[in-house]
Amino acid sequence: MISRPLPVPTALTEGFWAAAREHQLVLQRCDECGRFRHYPQERCPECTSAAWRWIPASGRGFVYTYTRSDQPFHPAWADRTPYLVATVELEEGVRMVSDLPPEDTDRVQIGSRVEVFFDDLPGTGVTLPRFRLT
């Protein structure tokens, strides 16, 4: 069996993954201008400040766009096709990429409301924040 690729936390991203293990979604927010950002970055793309902190996010948003994959792009997903990959825009204004559960395949639309849930991957110590339709 081929294992799925897993995130490798760094000093910059460890806070995100540690919060996920506690079933909390967090985002970086700039201390200077208040802008949220994702993916984690050392400096604010708006004002270049290096001062930031993790802030709990709402976990709510909508499907900005999505694609349906009928071909696995990694062997670990060979038995999961078709699957959906969505770009989700959160209420905080940032976008994240997530797969959507199989039960959402036939009802997803651009603009569909979504909420975060947490997928504890057995035996890995990794929890993935994922999204599903509400």
Interface positions with Zn ion (CB under 5 A): 30, 32-33, 35, 44, 46-47, 49
Beta bridge partners of 116: 131
Q: Closer to Zn ion at the Cβ: 42 or 46? A: 46
- Listed in sequence order, the residues at least 6 apart from 96 whose beta carbon sits closer than 8 Å to its beta carbon are 38, 87, 88, 90, 129, 131
Shortest distance, position 36 Cβ to Zn ion, whole Å? 10
Rounded Cα gap, residues 6 and 120, in angstroms: 12
Q: Closer to Zn ion at the Cβ: 32 or 120? A: 32
Shortest distance, position 30 Cβ to Zn ion, whole Å? 3
Q: Closer to Zn ion at the Cβ: 44 or 57? A: 44
| DSSP track, 12-63 | TTHHHHHHHHTT--EEEEETTT--EESS--SS-TTT----EEEEE---EEEE
Q: Closer to Zn ion at the Cβ: 38 or 130? A: 38
Shortest distance, position 38 Cβ to Zn ion, whole Å? 14
Shortest distance, position 41 Cβ to Zn ion, whole Å? 11
